[in-house]
Amino acid sequence: MRVTFSLLAAAAVVNAAGVLPGQIKNLVTFGDSYTDVVNVGDGGTAWPVYAAGYAKLSLFPFARSGATCSNNITFRPFPPLFESQLPTYFAEVENKTLKLDSRKTIYTLWIGTNDVGSNALLTGSDKATVVDTTRCAVNWVKVLYESGARNFLFQNMIPLQLVPMYSAAAYPNRFWNAPFNATEWSVFMTELTTAGNAIAELLLQNLARTLPGAHIGLFDSHSLFQDMFNRPSAYLNGTAPLNVTGAVNACVFPEQGQPGDPFCTVAQGTDRDSFLWYVPGYFVA
């Protein structure tokens, strides 16, 4: 497994120091359901809550479930990053309900899952490409930098082709029960996430050179989740056989237009800790 965190840029001053241990006191989060602390996909503890508590940081969460980077690129009826989350953040800064020292604050973004997924790029329902959605996400750094932010952590997309919803063994589920070719989806999703992550890293490297004093970190969520999939015993400790292809709460729906009710299996108690995924499209926090 490759190192899951890398520093893309430090202050653009010769021999300038990076972020010092203990310097960061605040964590500001943006993104989708993978980061939302209100509508938590698995009913557990959202990672920002755990991370802030572990590092003794004050948490300021703006991520919202279902979000894309911009509804002007991939429309979904949920609060997007650029049309909702960022304006909410800036409004709180403007009315002084949010007062943060930029030197002591790190801003994170984890987005892209909904941009590339069903009802978006995967199913061809938007006139956009993964270049458009990735450029949008990287632009988040520039927008916040221009407002005074200096410390950023960009999290890339996980290997979504491993998620039960997008794997070659996918089945009709609560998120998508229209007819589809699971093998085609899996191959296409591999291309979308791999290309999107590579584009993001290159764009961030180029952007970093233009932002004096910025510190930009790239957290490689893709490699982390691939490693969890490959070596579940290093991460999962449930009482059922370890399972990285199923889900805690798995419901097989009849195909759209067909009669019948969903057939569901739900793991209970400590058996839940044996699964990598909670529902077909969401991991176990």
What residue type is assigned to position 48 of the chain? P
What are the sequence ranges of the domains in the chain? Answer: 5-234
8 A C-beta contact, residue 114 and residue 73: no
* pLDDT profile of the chain (285 residues), mean per 10: 52 54 96 94 88 97 97 95 98 96 97 96 91 98 98 98 96 92 97 98 96 96 98 97 96 91 94 94 74
Tell me what pLDDT residue 8 has: 62
Predicted pLDDT of residue 75: 93
Structural tokens at position 90 = 């800036």
State whether CATH 3.40.50.1110 applies to domain 5-234: yes
